[in-house]
């Protein structure tokens, strides 16, 4: 898609989303010059097809494929709700503390069931019960895709269920501020008021975690337009009740206060009905764009990425940080990354194998194991990664 056409499609997408979130009917005439197929495909890549299909159907514009995708999103949410209730009942019976995260909470703030699409459900739980939780999931017919690798375990069941069960909110070598700040999540949390072992974050703490999680993606592989939609939905749902003095103070502690402010202002601006409508009118030559050059530039970071980011963006950001941290050349940064595929930093081993720093004699064996995996079991993927590193753009 050409850059000019891409901008037009995204402005239309923003307008359609704004209509859905604000209870407005889409003006079909405003979209008459557009290829709706491009709008649907773009919405799908950002996990926004349910919102777009709903808004367009209300305006009498129906796509069989989009309607099917919307219904699938609704069914998926219902399956998740039912499965999650069963899982959390088991937690209650065993006295396991739990705290639902992210989309599990956000989905209920959207105007209709299924509009907030989810690939998985995230739940924080008491780490002391990690093996017990695994037994619960296995007993219920799930299989463990990941267990005791990093800060969350992944349990899946056909056809669509996917639960990420967290023992901590962050555990990333390059995010020590986040790791430390969110380490005491249960101490900060409050009772959910409807169960014995269920917890919830305060509205402010939920928003801070939401922005920190979003920033993690933004700074690494990037994050798509749905992140801004989540921000808009959350802020309009909470309206004036949030304590932004507290939020700003806490965001400063983890060095995301400027990111929080800018993304908040842009989300509230672009999805405001009159602004969103003016974007489409400007593309039709009927008035000026309501966005500044800075706004447009910032939005590009979200527009050019799908829901969960891209590997190219991740590599570019990682190599740029490596270059700046070591004051080295592009080539040196790339070579260090390639070598790290076999010889990663100790922080990596601590993330995937907690406690290994106290048993450093195991490191050579882990190198050998990693070499076999990378060079023997998946040589094609390794060659592809090296080629992507060589081609990656390193920012100045």
**How big is the chain by its Cα radius of gyration, in Å?**
22
Helix, strand counts (H, E) of the chain? 19, 7
**What 8-state DSSP symbol labels residue 123?**
E
In terms of C-beta density within 10 A (0-12 exposed, 13-18 middle, 19 or more buried), how is residue 57 classed?
A: middle
Q: Using CB atoms within 10 A of its CB, is residue 11 exposed (0-12), middle (13-18) or buried (19+)?
A: buried
Q: Are strands 199-200 and 152-157 parallel, antiparallel or unpaired?
A: unpaired
- Can you give the pLDDT at residue 308? 45
Count of Cβ atoms closer than 10 Å to residue 359 Cβ? 10
The C-alpha atoms of residue 25 and residue 242 are separated, in whole angstroms, by 29
Q: What integer pLDDT is reported at residue 307 of this predicted model?
A: 45
Phi first, then psi: give them for residue 146, nearest 5 degrees: -140, 140
**pLDDT for 309:** 45
Task: Decide: 103 and 118 in contact? Cβ < 8 Å.
Answer: yes
224 conformational bin, left if phi > 0, alpha if psi -120 to 50, beta if neither? beta
- Please work out, in degrees rounded to the nearest 5, the angle formed at the alpha carbon of residue 145 by the alpha carbons of 139 and 150: 115
pLDDT for 52 equals 97
217 vs 225: CA distance, rounded Å: 12
**What is the rounded CA–CA span in Å between residue 16 and residue 273?**
10
* Res 139: pLDDT: 97
Q: Which residues of the chain have pLDDT under 50?
A: 1, 4, 307-309
Cα dihedral sign, 144-146-151-152: negative
- Nearest-angstrom CA–CA distance, 224 and 47: 9
In angstroms, rounded to a whole number, what is the distance separating the alpha carbons of residues 125 and 138?
17
Per-residue confidence (pLDDT) for residue 387, from 0 to 100: 79
In the structure encoding, which two tokens stand for residue 94, read together? 């065993």
Question: Which pLDDT score is estimated for 80?
Answer: 97
Q: Which two tokens stand for residue 375?
A: 């060079």
Read off the pLDDT of residues 150-165 as tens digits, 9 standing for 90 and up.
899 999 999 999 999 9
Question: Treating both helix axes as pointing N-terminal to C-terminal, what angle do 330-340 and 379-391 enclose, rounded to 10 degrees?
Answer: 160
Tell me the backbone φ, ψ of residue 100, rounded to 5 degrees: -65, 145
């Amino acid at each position: 898609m050409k850059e000019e056409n891409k901008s037009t499609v995204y402005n239309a997408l923003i307008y359609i989303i704004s209509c859905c979130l604000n209870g407005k009917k889409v003006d079909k005439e405003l979209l008459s010059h557009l290829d709706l197929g491009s709008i649907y495909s773009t919405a799908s890549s950002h996990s926004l097809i349910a919102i777009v299909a709903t808004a367009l159907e209300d305006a009498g514009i129906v796509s069989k494929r989009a309607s099917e995708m919307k219904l699938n999103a609704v069914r998926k949410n219902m399956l998740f709700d039912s499965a999650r209730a069963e899982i959390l009942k088991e937690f209650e019976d065993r006295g396991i503390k739990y705290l639902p995260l992210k989309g599990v909470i956000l989905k209920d703030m959207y105007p209709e069931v299924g509009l907030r699409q989810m690939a998985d459900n995230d739940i924080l739980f008491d780490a002391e019960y990690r093996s017990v939780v695994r037994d619960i999931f296995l007993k219920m017919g799930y299989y463990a895709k990941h267990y005791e690798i990093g800060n969350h375990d992944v349990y899946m069941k056909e056809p669509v269920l996917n639960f990420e069960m967290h023992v901590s909110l962050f555990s990333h070598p390059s995010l020590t501020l986040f790791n430390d700040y969110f380490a005491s999540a249960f101490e900060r949390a409050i009772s959910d008021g409807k169960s014995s072992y269920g917890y919830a974050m305060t509205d402010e703490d939920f928003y801070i975690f939401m922005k920190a999680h979003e920033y993690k993606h933004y700074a690494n592989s990037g994050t798509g337009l749905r992140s801004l939609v989540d921000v808009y939905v959350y802020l309009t749902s909470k309206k004036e009740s949030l304590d932004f003095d507290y939020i700003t103070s806490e965001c400063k502690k983890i060095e995301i206060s400027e990111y929080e402010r800018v993304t908040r202002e842009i989300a509230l601006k672009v999805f405001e009905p009159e602004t969103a409508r003016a974007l489409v009118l400007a593309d039709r030559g009927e008035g000026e764009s309501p966005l500044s050059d800075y706004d447009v530039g910032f939005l590009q970071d979200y527009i050019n990425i799908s829901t969960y980011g891209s590997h190219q963006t991740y590599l570019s950001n990682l190599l740029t940080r490596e270059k700046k941290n070591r004051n080295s050349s592009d080539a040196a940064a790339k070579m260090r990354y390639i070598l790290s595929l076999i010889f990663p930093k100790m922080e990596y081993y601590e993330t995937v194998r907690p406690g290994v720093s106290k048993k450093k004699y195991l490191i050579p064996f882990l190198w050998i194991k990693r070499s076999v995996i990378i060079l023997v079991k998946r040589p094609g993927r390794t060659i592809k990664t090296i080629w992507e590193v060589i081609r990656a753009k390193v920012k100045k």
